[in-house]
Amino acid sequence: MASTGLGLQSTSAIVLLSAAVLGACGARSGLEVSQGGSNPGTTSVTSTGTTGVTATSTTGVTTSVSTTVVSSSVSSSTGGCIEGTTKDCGSNVGQCKFGKETCHNGVFGACEGGVTPKPEACNGLDENCNGTVNDCDPGSGPCTPTLFVTGSTPSSPNCIDFPVMMGSQGSFTYQCPGTGGAVTATLGGIPFMGTVNNNVVQLDGFATIFPPQTPDGCTWQDHHSITGSITSGTLTYNYSEMVIAKPPGVTCWNPCTEVGTVKITFP
């Protein structure tokens, strides 16, 4: 029983002395302890070599402990980041690309290596990285995309020879950023005028057709309209007509209508 009690006391002495030995004998063992420094809240411990510890228990028994400490470096920071780690920063919307922030001394640094937003020109690219193409910014100058009718549907198979039909081409001009001002356009040889507000365009064109160009001998007025959001890339074309003059004894044809889709292509 005596040996068992001695063993327990010796073990207790070793455990109790371990913290004191590491602190008091740090210089002799090669153990360095630093706290604070350039990054408050960070504790670094670097140690190397072999430490010999001799302790005497309360019973007078001497116990020796030999500890080999392998060189190591541990860094921690309360609420900080791990040294050398990186994370994405910035945006990857439109033409923008993510950059990288790198952790140094527990703090992430500046965003580097990415592509950042810039004023958007009228070029079919989302350069200001807001998720919308061709909402060009002030100072970008006039924007002149081309128009192409990709489809049209007449109100009747007997309605033919429209001035604007599938395959018709044209263009229109507006000032960036598309938030107001006059707009001019041509499509299928028809001139249009109108306005743009918040990138929504409203264009109208009128033409009067006199005999003998009209097959029924009546005088007709054509109304062409182009409406829609510029940034959507597609506009809607509408055509309607009405008789404005009818010679005596002449039966005018039934009026026709047409609906078409107009694609916008930016330079």
Could you tell me if 166 and 56 lie in one domain? no
* Straight-line distance from the first to the last Cα atom of the chain, in angstroms, rounded to the nearest whole number: 97
- 187 located within any domain: yes
- Paired residues of 206 in beta bridges: 223
In a domain, 212, yes or no: yes
* Percent of the chain clearing pLDDT 90 (strictly above): 46
- Determine, yes or no, domain membership for 192: yes
73 & 146 share domain: no
Q: Are residues 148 and 261 in the same domain?
A: yes
Query: Do 255 and 150 share a structural domain?
Result: yes
Exposed, middle or buried by CB within 10 Å (0-12, 13-18, 19+), for 225?
middle
Q: How far is CA 35 from the centre of its chain?
A: 42
Convert the pLDDT of each residue in 161-189 to its tens digit. Answer: 888 999 999 998 888 777 777 889 999 98
Burial of 46 (0-12, 13-18, 19+ CB in 10 A): middle
Min mean pLDDT across 69-78, 136-145, 185-194 is at 69-78
Task: Report phi then psi at 27, rounded to 5.
Answer: -65, -40
Residue 106: inside a domain: no
Which of 26, 55, 77 finishes a domain?
77
DSSP 3-state assignment of 261? strand
Q: How many domains does the chain have?
A: 2
Is 121 inside a domain boundary? no
54 with 167, same domain: the answer is: no
Domain boundary (50, 77, 104) is at: 77
CA proximity to 263, closest of 165, 151, 123: 151
Helix (H) or strand (E) holding 13: helix 2-24
Q: Closest by alpha carbon to 66, among 77, 55, 75, 81?
A: 55
Q: Which of 77, 96, 111 is where one domain is finished?
A: 77
Q: How confident is the model at residue 89 (pLDDT cuts 50, 70, 90)?
A: very high
CA–CA dist 191, 17 (Å, integer): 97
> Does residue 73 lie in a domain region?
yes
Do 67 and 168 belong together in one domain? no
pTM of the predicted model as reported, rounded to 2 decimal places: 0.57
64 with 153, same domain?
A: no
- Cross-strand partners of 262: 149, 235
In a domain, 221, yes or no: yes
Claim to verify: residue 169 and residue 69 sit in the same structural domain: no
Length, in residues, of the chain:
267
Q: Rounded distance, CA 162 to CA 187, Å?
A: 12
The verdict on 146 and 261 lying in the same domain is yes
- Which structural domain, as residue segments, surrounds residue 55? 2-77
**Pair of tokens at residue 157:** 């198979």
The answer to whether residue 169 is domain-embedded is yes
